[in-house]
Amino acid sequence: MYLPMKKDYPDYYKVITDPIDLSTIETKIKGNKASGKKSSFSRAYVPMEDDSVYL
């Protein structure tokens, strides 16, 4: 799952302020770069939450 293209969904990036896709999460997990306030596991749910907010 990838982020929508800005030219196709320009308002998506106005509604979703911190977009992330599953491929980015996977890369961070594999590179052991997942850190910060949100764990990599909880970030995996964000794309699904973003879609429900945007719809």
Tens of pLDDT, residue by residue over 4-55, are 899 999 898 888 888 888 788 788 777 776 555 455 556 656 666 666 666 6
Quick one: pLDDT at residue 41?
A: 55
Token readout for 11 is 């308002």
pLDDT value, residue 18 = 82
Joined tokens for residue 30: 């594999």
Residue 20 φ/ψ, nearest 5 degrees? -150, 145
Six-digit token string for 14: 């106005």
pTM above 0.95, yes or no: no
For 54, the enclosing helix (H) or strand (E) is: helix 46-54
pLDDT given for residue 24 in this prediction: 83
Q: What is the pLDDT of residue 7?
A: 94
At residue 51, the pLDDT reads 64
